[in-house]
């Protein structure tokens, strides 16, 4: 960060907005426009104060989310390793007991044995797994921006609610900062639409902008697009309508953004416990199914042996 500020300071002939525009990957695409408007209006200190607050909030929110997800992810990784170890070393022991006694091996056991042999004898599967992981990591931005992932992030009952409210906080705070920096209303919406990475929010703000151009009030424009954000959209529309009636739009936006931020922080504190319980129950269910299936396979083998013994006795 100090290096970036130093680079901007080393070019005093350039306006600050031009200097910050070179580092939109760090400061965001909206800040140069806010600085440009602040330079014109002479209120740069307010612009930087708001930008610093939002930047700190974004970092805090990102760290809290990573912290809340770390333990459940480790839990999932541990279970995956246990399941993989069972397939590689446990299944061959079970199948070998069938083959030693010349019994019929169940179909699902044969399939798992094929997977086990592939993992143990051929490095291709492991190489493919590693390459798939590397490819997914390199293309993570495209994967996150894909339609199925965006739908999941917006609609998932728990994670989707946190994600949606966090994005509302980020984009609406950006919109309020742009308006307070005296950037034009249309240009402010253009900037927010441009920085929105989620197609749902692009559609949402694009629809609001179109409705405003058509002559609708702010409250009516947001109400028209409310369904895109589910119940949050109707709450926003009501808050915007109230703020519009008092003539204090940006403070109204910051009020409901503060509500969403507090709710996101609370849910991120609760999320680890919820995910741990849900993942543990899921893993216990899967492990139970595997154990029961192995037990049923063993019992099936014993039944086959009893039939062979009965046949031998009857033959005598």
Residue 315 pLDDT greater than 90, yes or no: no
Residue 180 pLDDT greater than 80, yes or no: yes
Phi, psi of 11 (to 5 degrees): -120, 70
Residue 224 pLDDT greater than 90, yes or no: yes
Residue 169 pLDDT greater than 60, yes or no: yes
Alpha carbon separation from 21 to 24, 122, 178, 235, 274 (Å, rounded)? 6, 51, 15, 34, 41
What does the CA dihedral 306, 307, 311, 314 come to, rounded to 10 degrees? 70
Domain range list for the chain: 68-116+145-155+268-315
Contacts of 161 (CB under 8 A, 6+ apart): 267
pTM of the model: 0.68
Contacts of 78 (CB under 8 A, 6+ apart): none
H-helix or E-strand spanning residue 230: helix 230-246
pLDDT tens-digit readout, 6-22: 666 666 666 776 777 67
DSSP string, 236-300: HHHHHHHHHHHT-HHHHHHHHHHHHHHHHHHHHHHHHHHHHHHHHHHHHHHHHHHHHHHHHHHHH
């Amino acid at each position: 960060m100090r290096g970036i500020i130093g680079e901007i300071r080393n070019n005093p002939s350039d306006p600050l907005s031009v200097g910050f525009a070179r580092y939109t990957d760090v400061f965001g695409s909206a800040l140069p426009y806010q600085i440009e408007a602040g330079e014109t209006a002479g209120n740069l200190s307010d612009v930087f104060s708001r930008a610093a607050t939002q930047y700190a909030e974004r970092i805090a929110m990102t760290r809290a989310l990573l912290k809340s997800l770390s333990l459940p992810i480790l839990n999932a990784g541990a279970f995956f390793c246990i399941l993989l170890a069972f397939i590689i070393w446990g299944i061959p022991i079970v199948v070998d007991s069938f083959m030693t006694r010349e019994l019929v091996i169940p179909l699902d056991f044969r399939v798992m044995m094929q997977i086990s042999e592939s993992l143990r004898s051929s490095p291709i599967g492991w190489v493919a797994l590693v390459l798939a992981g590397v490819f997914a990591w390199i293309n993570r931005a495209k994967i996150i921006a894909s339609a199925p992932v965006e739908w999941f992030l917006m609609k998932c009952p728990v994670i989707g609610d946190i994600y949606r409210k966090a994005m509302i906080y980020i984009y609406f705070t950006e919109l309020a900062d742009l308006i307070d920096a005296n950037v034009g209303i249309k240009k402010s919406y253009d900037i927010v639409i441009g920085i929105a990475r989620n197609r749902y929010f692009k559609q949402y703000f694009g629809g609001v902008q179109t409705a405003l151009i058509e002559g609708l009030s702010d409250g009516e424009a947001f109400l028209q697009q409310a369904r895109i954000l589910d119940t949050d959209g109707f709450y926003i529309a009501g808050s915007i309508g109230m703020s519009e009636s008092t003539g204090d739009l940006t403070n109204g936006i910051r009020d409901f953004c503060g509500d969403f931020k507090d709710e996101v922080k609370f849910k991120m504190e609760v999320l680890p416990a919820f995910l741990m319980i849900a993942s543990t129950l899921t893993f216990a269910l899967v492990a139970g199914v595997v154990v029961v299936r192995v037990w049923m396979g063993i019992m099936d083998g014993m039944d086959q042996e009893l039939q062979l013994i009965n046949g031998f006795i009857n033959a005598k």
